[in-house]
Structure 1
Amino acid sequence: MPRSRFPLVLLTLALGGAAQAATTITIATVNNPDMVTMQKLTPEFNKKYPDINVKWVVLPENELRQKITLDVASGAGSFDIATVGVYEVPIWAKNGWLDPLTPLFQKNPSIAASYKLNDILPSVRGALTVNGQLYAVPFYAESSMTFYNKDLFKKAGLTMPQNPTWQQIQTFASKIHNPSQGVYGICLRGLPGWGENMAFITTMVNTFGGRWYDQNWRAQLNTPAWKNALTFYVNTLKKYGPPGATSNGFTENLTLMSQGKCGMWVDATVAAGFLSDPSSSKIVNSVGFANAPVGPGTPRGSNWFWSWNLAIPKSTKKEDAAFKFLTWATSPEYINLVAKTKGTWAAVPPGTRTSTYTNPNYKKAAGAFSNIVLSSINRADVTRPTKDPVPYTGIQYVSIPQFQALGTRVGQIMAGALSGQTSIDQALKQGQDEANRVAREAGYQK
């Protein structure tokens, strides 16, 4: 080989080695607005970690759950980071499907120092900890609350109380409902899915005095509390909701509310920031906030508890790169970045860090709703979700592995009652049979 070409060969080898050193991680996430923002801010991550490329798989909630569950359970390794809910984390951790993060924080002291793990709200951090090991970090946490259009309320001569009852909500909806003008009295989740319509229906059932199972794991769906709650839900949406409600989940109702088409909406507290963001909401100056409604049975379980979290599947071969992204996207630095990018602190991912709620900029921007959100999250008790005792934890879900399939199946049945394909009595009997079958086959019933 001629001597004059030797340096060029070395340079080529060096460049080739650098190209090979770049790592690509694949992230699976839900198509909620906060996650879409995270995807858009990937170039900022690349500035900090230019040797890590990010590939995104963004899916609707139901589809995401199915795809991730199948992947991590089989060890297929398609994803290096998975967006998972507070329901999945303890179950998947016990199954050995997730990497514990505690050792990774210990291994990376500089990241741990800037990340400030103790800044994460204790209730949220505790829900993601199993046997002393942290298995996920929260991207945002939420409870549920009531959103209403103050302009529509004023026009109808109504005043929303800070702590409304469901009966009051229904009365308000009847007075605001004006479909000929494209305004519906209330928007509620109707899209089938254990994390969609059943998250909402279960909290309503809770506050009407119902529960999924008694202490002996006997199903309780075919009871007066469930019938009263489901009848109220179906009647309210049929009379005062938008057409095609069985197609509307969180995202669809967020769009309707932000366009001024809903008088009220009861849903996740995370929506408060979206509805206060001028870039995505037409009702920034007219949106009002109140606590989640309470039914005739009990205030217990009337508002849910949830967090969307980033976790590392055990099957990944790119743990270090995944850990760097996961900690970047849930850090105080990232929250500041979102505020800067969006131009308002009201749009930052909520419900995760004490420092967010003590930040004067956040207090100023989110003062109309921040206290409601924080108190709702703190008030939600996953260990005592119902009026009568139950053998499970979880407010809007039952913390057993089988609930993902059970809740989705019952969600389809309840959507059938909403659409008129089946009667309420038939829906409750079918749901009762499904819940008993699951408890029996899983060995919960003795």
Structure 2
Amino acid sequence: MRALPSAVLAVLALVLSGCAGAGELGGGGAGVTTVTIAIVSNPQMQDAIKLSPQFEAQNPGIRLKFVSLAENEARAKITASVATGGGEFDAVMISNYETPQWARNGWLVNLQPLINATPGYDSQDFIPAVRNALSYDGNMYSVPFYGESSFLMYRKDLLEQAGLTMPAKPTWQQVRDIAARLDDPSKGLAGICLRGKPGWGEILAPFDTVINTFGGRWYDPQWNAQLQSPEVRQAAQFYVDTVRRYGEPGAPTAGFSECATQFSQGNAAMWYDATVAAGLLEDPTESKVVGKVGFAPAPIVAKDNAGWLYSWSLAIPTTSQHVDAAWKFMSWMTSKDYAKLVGAQLGWARVPPGARLSTYQIPEYQQAAAAFAGPTLAAIGSADQQKPTLQPVPYTGIQFLGIPEFQDLGTRVSQQLSAAIAGQQTVDEALAQAQKYAATVGATYQGEGS
């Protein structure tokens, strides 16, 4: 992995300029340290903000300032700040995509000494696949708030009413056929919800797993772009056709949040997405489908075990002037006790999943998560970002490529696919342009011996 090219850094600097004033460091009165945290505005993170006054009450010398952003915006602004040494944030929410690359670049504080010096924190309690994905040279550089893979969520009641049975390990063709049977626009019911919103972390998350299981890949071992290969063409045509025919209304602008709303409100029969969504669907304060949802492994075609691996995690940029205070907050938000706090005060289905093994030993959580805890752990455990494809590749990552250029490359390719879903161009036209983007990036790696 390489540091971001200077051209990319220039673009990031422009993005960062729009973030000026998002959070000043310091301040807060004599003896009070203000810790500024850039955080993604997903539901579990909003819960953390809601509970954070309790941390401040326990730590009167620390004041928390959150900059809460939607996923695409958060990725852009956090990357811009960290890559350019902007220093706006003391703690940032990143993932297993950024962590090893930014650690190698020297942009993140090595958290291992802080972890080792924190009694009871117990990093060995993190699910191994997640802990390893957030490590570089054997040290953790970010700590997981939650971890996830992907699986298929489906309405058990609707399948039963239609006389259908979900296979224990469904193929994508079987899922498409079920979607066709259950799709009923006259009743406001989509056969399936699939992301169509542009963004390397939006549509490309599920779509890349489809490429992988159809036998496709982004590059061959020599970094020759493969986005017009027969396997990728088949995968892309399948995805676009399925969501256009049986998907949710407004699919080209639907991401995780939009699909969560559609499915939880009873407007879709199936949804393929992040395992973390399960807790939202079983929360009676948010969902109309509590107790009606079944969970099946990520659909497959040629490649077994198609689910992705991802973790929203917290890291400290090396520019932070408040490392100890930032770590005190981060260690609170990712601790064993935090899971119990969420469960007791907000509901056990809302506990951040997929990070700590001990969470799955809490009796109240076991009861609340009975339907999805096992499938979640199985999906995370079977995800191997070192071997994401059937054929050999020069990159790691399942729903992303572990190279710095993927933030821009993935976003550009996602825009082409979203346009195909919107009917603005054909799949072949989308892939032709995507191939050009990928070939340009691939050429910079050829001859490096990577």
Query: The TM-score by the shorter chain falls in which range?
Result: over 0.9
Partner of 1:291: 297
Q: Deviations over 1:174-200 (max 9, x none)?
A: 111111111111000000111110111
Determine the C-alpha separation between the residues in 1 that align with 2:445 and 2:252.
Answer: 30
Which amino acid counterpart does residue 304 of structure 2 have in structure 1?
Answer: P
Q: Tell me if structure 1 keeps the 8 A contact 2:89–2:317.
A: yes
- Report which of the two has the higher share of helix: 1
2:245 pairs with 1:235? no
Q: Partner residue of 2:4?
A: none
> In percent, how many aligned pairs have the same letter?
50
Say yes or no: does 1:37 pair with 2:41. Answer: no
Equivalent position of 1:370 in the other structure: 373
Alignment of 1:178-193 (within 5 A): 178-193=184-199
Determine which of 390, 395, 408 is the counterpart of 2:393: 390
* Cα distance per residue 1:355-387 (max 9 Å; x no partner): 112333222221111111001101001111101
Partner of 1:104 in structure 2? Answer: 114
Q: 1:324 and 1:288 mapped to 2: Cα distance?
A: 38
Q: Residue 82 of structure 1: SS of its match in structure 2? A: strand
1:121 maps to 2:127: yes
In 2, are the aligned partners of 1:439 and 1:445 still within 8 Å (CA)? no
How many matched pairs? 423
Aligned-pair CA distance for 1:116: 1.6
Shift of 1:162: 2.2
Kindly indicate whether residue 67 of structure 2 is the aligned counterpart of residue 63 of structure 1. no
Q: In structure 2, how many angstroms separate the alpha carbons of the residues matched to 1:50 and 1:391? A: 49
1:169 paired residue number: 175
Decide which of 325, 330, 334 is 1:330's aligned counterpart: 334
* Alpha carbons 1:87, 1:399 under 8 Å: kept: yes
| Cα RMSD (Å) | 1.5
Query: Which stretches in structure 1 are left out of the alignment for 5+ residues?
Result: 1-16
* Secondary structure of 1:253 counterpart: helix
The whole-number CA distance in structure 2 between the counterparts of 1:24 and 1:362 is: 33
Question: Structure 1 residues 439, 147: CA separation in 2 closer, same or farther (over 3 Å shift)?
Answer: same
- In 2, the alpha carbon distance for the partners of 1:243 and 1:117 equals 43
Q: Structure 2: how far apart are the matches of 1:443 and 1:391?
A: 11
**Structure 2 unpaired stretches of 5+:** 1-26
**Once the 2 structures are TM-superposed, how far is the Cα of residue 105 of structure 1 from its aligned partner?**
2.8
Q: 1:434 aligns with which of 423, 434, 437?
A: 437
Give 1:280's match in structure 2, choosing from 276, 286, 308: 286
**Alpha-carbon shift at residue 150 of structure 1 (Å):** 1.8
CA contact (8 A) 1:338 1:348 kept: yes
| 2:7 corresponds to | none
Which whole-Å CA distance do the structure 2 matches of 1:444 and 1:291 have between them?
A: 39
Q: Distance in 2 between matches of 1:196 and 1:35?
A: 18
Alpha-carbon distance in 2 for matches of 1:358, 1:440: 49
Larger Rg belongs to: 1
Inter-partner Cα distance in structure 1 for 2:334 and 2:356: 10
Residue equivalent to 1:194: 200
Give, in whole Å, the separation in 2 of the partners of 1:413 and 1:239: 18
Do the aligned residues in 1 keep the contact of 2:28 with 2:63 (CA within 8 Å)? no
The C-alpha deviation readout for 1:78-118, integer Å capped at 9, x for no partner, is 11110001100001111111111112234xx3xx2221221
| Secondary structure at 2:119 match in 1 | helix
Once structures 1 and 2 are overlaid, which stretch shifts more, 77-86 or 125-134?
125-134
In structure 2, the residue matched to 1:306 is: 310
Corresponding position of 2:411 = 408
- Which residue does the alignment assign to 1:379? 382
Give the CA deviation at 1:443.
Answer: 4.9
Distance 1:18 1:339 in 2: 31
Match of 2:153 among 126, 147, 153: 147
Which residue is 1:49 aligned to? 59
2:152 match: secondary structure: strand
Q: After the TM superposition, which of the residue ranges 122-131 and 188-197 deviates more from structure 2? A: 122-131
Moved over 4 A (4+): 442-446
Q: Structure 1, residues 398-431: CA drift from partner, whole Å, max 9, x if none? A: 1111111100100001111111111111111111
Query: What TM-score, normalized to structure 1?
Result: 0.92
Q: 2:325 aligns with which of 297, 309, 321?
A: 321
